[in-house]
Amino acid sequence: MSPSEDIARVYRFLSQCMQYPDTEWMNEEFFNVLYNLLGTLGALEDGVTIKKEIDNSADPIEDLQVEYTRLFINGVPHVVAPPYGSVYMDKALQGTFAGNTLAFYREKGFGMEDDADFPDHLIHELEFLSLMAEEHDLAGEEEFLKKLFRPWYGLFQARVTEEAHHPYYRVIVQLIDFFTKEEEKDGFQPNKA
């Protein structure tokens, strides 16, 4: 294992964290990995906050499904934080930003499966970062972060942090921020909530 391979796993894990909640993967073992990761980053408190919310719920996965839907798919009066770069950069779904993202994937030799979401979906961008790390393409990873990830991610993160009812998503968006941000910023900041 080289550092890049560990980082590739982190991106892949974060991508999984942003999938629609399902008991198939979102189980006790998953949460233990998450708490463990938060613990190593000095953010055990965040893990405790999530655990409390989950332990106090009759159906924690359904809670998360409802929250996921409200935040990222469809909410009343409107969806809180669509996880697509174009929404923030072009003010439209599937704008030129999505096209530029796909062009970057292709330039690096990757294409998308037919049943994939739009190329600028957060999950796919994290998946791509994982692939870049796996291939030890540090320059590619950094260029992608700078040009196609960071420009919109902060806006997305701010909306989630502001509007999320469940601590899980507030913490996950901050975890993603920690692993994708520029070097000069501070370390992992414990969640205020």
Partner 1 sequence: MQYGMIIDLERCVGCHACTIACRAEWEVPVPYQRNWVKRLGPTMTDDGMASTYYPGLCNHCDKPPCVAECPADPVEMTFTAKNSKTKTMNVAATWKDPFDGSVQIDKDRCLGCGACADACPYGARYVNPALADDDSAGKADKCTYCKPRVEAGLDPACVQTCITGARIFGDLSDPNSAVSQYVKKGAKGLEVKGGHIGPNSRYYGNKKDMGLLFADYTPELADMASVKRRAMMASMVKPAMKKAKDIGILGLAGAMLVKGFSENEDNK
CB of 92 to partner 1, least distance (A): 19
Residue in 121, 113, 117 with CA at minimum distance from that of residue 87? 121
75: amino acid identity, one letter: G
Minimum Å gap between C-beta 185 and partner 1 is 11
At 135, phi and psi to the nearest 5? -90, 5
* Position 15, amino acid: S
In contact, 182 and 158? CB cutoff 8 Å: no
Q: Phi and psi of 84, rounded to 5°?
A: -120, 130
Closest CB to partner 1 among 3 and 154?
Answer: 3
Nearest to 170 by CA among 180, 159, 181, 154: 159
Q: Which of residues 117 and 162 has its CB atom nearest to partner 1 in the complex?
A: 117
How many Å apart are CA 192 and CA 159, to the nearest integer? 15
Residue 11 or 88 having the CB closest to partner 1: 11
Residue 68 or 110: the one with the smaller Cβ distance to partner 1 is 110
Q: Are 170 and 193 in contact (CB under 8 A)?
A: yes
Cβ contact 118:72 at 8 Å: no
| CA dist., res. 27 & res. 97, Å (int) | 35
Q: How far is the CB of 76 from partner 1 (least distance, A)?
A: 27
Which is nearer to partner 1, 94 or 159 (by Cβ)?
94
Pick between residue 124 and residue 166 the one whose CB is nearest to partner 1: 124
Q: Which residues bind partner 1 (CB under 8 A)?
A: 1-7, 9-10, 12-13, 15-16, 19, 24-25, 29-30, 32-33, 36-37, 40-41, 103, 105-107, 109-113, 115-117, 123-124, 127-128, 131, 135-136, 138-139, 142, 179, 183
